[in-house]
Amino acid sequence: MRTARKRLAIWGSLAALLAIGLAYALRPQPIQVDLATAQTGLLRVTVDEEGETRVREVYTLHAPLRGQLQRVTAEAGDPVKAGETLLAQIEPAAPAFLDVRTEAEQRAAVEAAGATYNLAAAELNKAKADLAFAEGERARARLLIERNTISKRALDDAERIYNVAQANLATAEAALNVRRHELCQARSRLLSRQEIRDRSGPCECVPLTAPVNGVVLRVMRRSEGVVEAGTPLLEIGDPDDKEIVVNLLSEDAVKIKPGLRAIVGGWGGDDLNAVVRRIEPFGQTEVSALGIEEQRVDVILDFADAPDRWRPLGHGYHADVEIILFEDMVLKLPLGALFRQDDSWAVFVAGEGRARLTPVTLGQRNSLEVEIKNGVTAGERVVLYPSNRLADGTAIVER
């Protein structure tokens, strides 16, 4: 009996120890979580987008007429003075080559002009002969009228015929001059390019000077050659008068108002301050890199710092722009601490080793932090990135 009791006591003790071990092993463990502290600090809400610097007023120098452009020697960055700095010159362009048919037409035109010139010369000789005859008739009529041999009407007819002959002679001389010039004009159309070059005197070039003070931003046509009227040649602007243009989505542009402050960074230097000057009143449809059509709006900003700070930024340089919509000292939490609870926002507040479900009221937010208006006080600790294992009252321990 004693042996049986001993065995029972031993096995009972072992079973009790095993039960205690199993109960300890299977007890609920507190969930390890990351915690963040609600604190008052600066919250900044911005609209971020890439921007591009540009000279506010860019003047494009165009060719005023068709001609032969001499080589442009100006370089980008060269300073120019309005009305004084010579940037380009245009001289008359050489005529086009004549094909066989056109050359035959021009030679026929020369022959026709020569024939009309000869006809005009013959008409001039006839007019001279008529004038000589009329002059003789007038002299005889004047002599006979003194002798009362002819009537006064006969003398008047002789005078009239003489005057008409004089007018015909002047007409014939003018017609001959016209035909002579037409013949020269027809011959000039057959001049070769080499003959034109040999006969040309000093170049009567059209000089193109700078329209404003500034620097050459870009040379768009450098090589010598024939240019048409309106061909862009150079761009000129004032490098000390720059602005920034930011192409925003239309849903972001409607949040922006003139006068908002902005921070310009990512250009290779210290951050710069800028101010929104204008939001363009129209949007443009653009296709994103993913092939999605977007409505984009240009927002124009002015630099607010001294020119020495932003002068290294040239025309068309890249910059990252943050337009500040809200900036103030508020009670804030990391955005990762919040989650949706029915139709409101909530957080898990850590206290006494337990997670307490707490609804909160939000204010302003950015991509990292959010303003807390109600529900949490400064110094309270909340769970970051709560999982679905958490519930109100769940035991937690900081990771």
Residue 174 belongs to what H/E stretch?
A: helix 152-188
SS3 content of the chain, % helix, strand, coil (to 5): 30, 35, 30
Tokens 């862009």 correspond to what residue?
232
**Across-strand partners of 341?**
344
pLDDT at 17: 75
pLDDT for 254:
94
pLDDT of residue 352: 86
- Whole-model pTM: value is 0.67
Pairwise CA distance, residues 114 & 84, whole Å? 49
The pLDDT of residue 22 is 66
Question: For residue 199, what pLDDT is reported?
Answer: 62
Tokens matching residue 345: 């926002």
Q: Are 267 and 255 in contact (CB under 8 A)?
A: no
C-alpha to C-alpha distances, 372 to 116, 346, 385, nearest whole angstrom: 101, 11, 17
pLDDT at 151: 81
Closest CA to 82 of 213, 180, 199: 213
Stretches where the chain sits below pLDDT 50 are none
pLDDT at residue 223, as a whole number: 92
Q: How far is CA 58 from CA 48, 176, 200, in A?
A: 27, 56, 37
- The pLDDT tens digits of the residues spanning 322-378 come to 999 999 999 999 999 999 988 899 999 998 888 999 999 999 999 899 999 999 999
Residue in 396, 389, 305, 294 with CA at minimum distance from that of residue 350: 396
